[in-house]
A = this chain, B = another copy of it.
């Protein structure tokens, strides 16, 4: 996997299945949110034995588009961007992965997009082969995976509406509301939304240029709808911003 660099100085960040420290899963902060939540103790132990805990630096590549998909990943902390590149360099970000997200839902031969870390990131890595076999013997895990894939599909269709039929301002508002919802599931209150990605990333997610994203954020800030803070925004007028993002 070209460009993949795994941290050697692995601190005990892995919070999920870990081959060396069995049953680490039980302390995993994202267990109930991720695929693992579908498993009983015996199954969790079995999955545990298959898992390799990995950590990545910001900007490290998890995997690249079109390469053989030997592994699937379960993110336990940090965030990543998932993107497709056109031959001429244009980029479309198809999603941002947060803790609890599973990469490799499709279980296809090759990756249909690239993924790299936006922040230091830890994940449980599984051999696709082994995971697929485990799936065959654990139908309710398959059901869980299918539900997650269905949910992803639904989000992708929402994103199609945003990309195809919304103005720049609405796009940015919808993006913030969408992220708020996802962060909300992980932490408690969510008036302050962390933005680990750059303006360029946001633009490539929304089908806009960096400049337009910056202008729209500035405009929202000028109108006291949001407050721009380091590495995030604080939502000051949630009703206004939801009205803009209204679906």
- Write the residues of chain A forming the contact surface with B, with a CB cutoff of 8 angstroms: 84, 86-87, 90-92, 94, 105-108, 112-113, 135-136, 139, 142-143, 145-147, 149-154, 156-161, 163-166, 204-207, 246-247
Contact = CB atoms under 8 A, between A and B. Distances in A.
Contacts of A135: 143
A139 B197 CA distance: 39
Given A86-B247, A156-B156, A163-B207, A150 B92 contact: no
Contacts of A158: 84
A92 B142 contact: no
A90 B112 CA distance: 30
Secondary structure at the A interface, as helix, strand, loop or mixed, is helix
26 contacts: A84-B158, A86-B161, A86-B165, A86-B246, A87-B246, A90-B165, A92-B165, A105-B153, A106-B154, A107-B147, A135-B143, A139-B139, A139-B142, A146-B146, A146-B149, A149-B149, A149-B150, A153-B153, A156-B157, A156-B160, A159-B160, A160-B160, A163-B164, A163-B207, A164-B204, A165-B204
**Copy total for this chain:** 2
A153 B106 contact: yes
Contacts of A246: 86-87
Contacts of A205: 164
Nearest to A150: B106
B87 A154 contact: no
Contact of A154 (B86, B90, B108, B143): B108
Contact of A84 (B112, B142, B146, B157): B157
A151 B93 CA distance: 18
Contact of A94 (B84, B105, B157): B157
A92 B247 contact: no
A105 B150 CA distance: 7
Nearest to A108: B150
Contacts of A108: 150, 154
A88 B210 CA distance: 28
A149 B146 CA distance: 8
